[in-house]
Structure 1
Amino acid sequence: MSAITSEHDLFGTLDAADFAFTRRAWVDAAPARVYDLVSDVSAIGRWSPNATDVTFDQGAGPRAGAWFGGLNRKDGREWTTRSQIVRADPGDTFTFVVGGIEDGIVRWSWTLRSRGRGTVVEQSWQLLRLDPVLGTTRGDLDALRDYMANSVETTLLSLARWIAEE
């Protein structure tokens, strides 16, 4: 298959599992502190270049099953998302699915591991199902994955810097 053909693969032949990544960074804080920061979804705008105005639903908080909404920006466009927490283990893992557990399209996960006096923070992104809103060709989805990987790297660096300066 040529590079030109692969750029124009039919949407139906793509596999969502091909679109995932994990990035890591060490931060100078204990896992419990990092968990408190990343599970406070309203704080993500401090570090993320894309997500702003993120808030838990009324009465919700960082626990499995809870919902939150947010405003996202990319390339001059804005859109809102609804996400549901699927795992909330203080000091260890915080995972949510954009679109909710039943019909989600992307899983985001933060995993925390103690290392020295700080924490190795892993942020993972996994496309769960194909949706035309995210792109319709392999090229579209590769570009989205690469864009999100760069965004995560920026987020992790910003988080580490924020913690160091706090």
Structure 2
Amino acid sequence: MTTTTTGNDPIEAMNAADFAFTRRAWVDAAPALVYELVSDVSAISRWSPDAADVAFDPEAGPWTGAWFSGRNRRDDRVWTSRSQIVRADPGTAFGFVVGGAENGIVHWKWTFTPQGRGTVVQQSWQLLRLDPVLGTTHADLDALRRHMAESAEITLTALAQWLAEER
């Protein structure tokens, strides 16, 4: 059940499930290729305006349970995050949870659906739990969601453009 909140409501009055979005883009490539690109987390900085220096842990790769780290930036802040892959279905879906599957904070999910000669790529973001590190008011979390949605739109557009130019 979603509760009605105002911009200044404290974190305790909010529901994490209220903070989510999905964005889609068509790209000129087969689902298997798009999955391969997205699941190579070290390549995300090619397209994402917020991620850099992303790498799997030693001996890890794009499979369920694997961990990776990355440097993130937003406004004037820079931080490192640890994420765990929670879904790795080649050509179909790829997902990870920032902070790990057990007690993570954000779930990112990508799905790949064939359409014509290309693929509809869907990128979703879901806040899993409330944490003051993300914001302490509804307005803070709305701003975070807006920023992340804009970042996803930029990422999807850049991925589509990169595929069009690199192929």
Say yes or no: TM over 0.5: yes
Between the aligned partners of 2:29 and 2:23, the Cα distance in structure 1 is: 18
The residue correspondences of 1:66-105 to structure 2 (distance < 5 A) are 66-105=66-105
Report which of the two has the higher share of helix: 1
2:10 is matched with: 10
Aligned to 2:144: 144
Which ranges in structure 2 are unaligned for 5 or more consecutive residues?
none
2:118 aligned partner: 118
* Identity between Structure 1 and Structure 2 (%): 70
Equivalent residue of 2:147, what SS?
Answer: helix
Moved over 6 A (4+): none
**1:49 Cα shift?**
0.2
Task: Could you tell me which runs of 5 or more consecutive residues in structure 1 were left unpaired when the two chains were aligned.
Answer: none
**Residue aligned with 1:132, SS:** coil
> Is 1:62 the counterpart of 2:62 in the alignment?
yes
TM-score, with structure 2 as normaliser: 0.96
Name the aligned partner's letter for residue 34 of structure 1: V
Partners of 2:140 and 2:10 lie apart in 1 by 11
Q: CA RMSD in A?
A: 0.7
> What is the distance in 1 between the residues matched to 2:134 and 2:154?
21
2:34 is aligned to: 34
Query: Secondary structure of 1:133's match?
Result: coil
Counterpart for residue 158 of structure 1: 158
For 1:32, the aligned partner's letter is A
What does residue 43 of structure 2 align with?
A: 43
Shift of 1:10: 1.6
SS in 2 for 1:165: helix
The residue that corresponds to 2:131 in the other structure is 131
- Scaled by the length of structure 1, what TM-score is found? 0.97
Offset of 1:19 from its aligned partner? 0.1
Distance in 2 (CA, whole Å) between partners of 1:7 and 1:119 is: 38
Deviation at 1:108? 0.1
What per-residue deviation string (whole Å, max 9, x for no partner) do you get for residues 95-141 of structure 1?
A: 00000001100000000000000000000000000010000000000
